[in-house]
Amino acid sequence: MAKKKSRKSVQQRRPVNTRSAAPAVAAAPEPAQPANLAEEYHYVITDLKRIGLLAAAMFALLVVLALVFG
């Protein structure tokens, strides 16, 4: 079997910055426009309604099965 090498001596080197220029000043970001959540997430409401309907149907099925077999 081959001998495993030790990783203790392996170090990551950082690149040396040869430029000594002043950092550039970033422009201030424009204020974000408020999003209309009803337009952005209209599909979420329909999914939640569908999940609620399925949950109610499953619960009703459980009640019916409990009455029939219980």
Averaged over successive runs of 10 residues, the pLDDT of the chain (70 residues) comes to 64 64 74 83 93 98 96
> What local confidence, expressed as pLDDT, does residue 68 receive?
97
Domain spans, the chain = 41-69
Residue 64 has phi, psi (to 5 degrees) of -65, -45
Q: Report the run of H or E that residue 47 belongs to, with start and end.
A: helix 42-69
Find the angle CA(48)-CA(50)-CA(37) to the nearest 5 degrees.
Answer: 30
DSSP code of 19? -
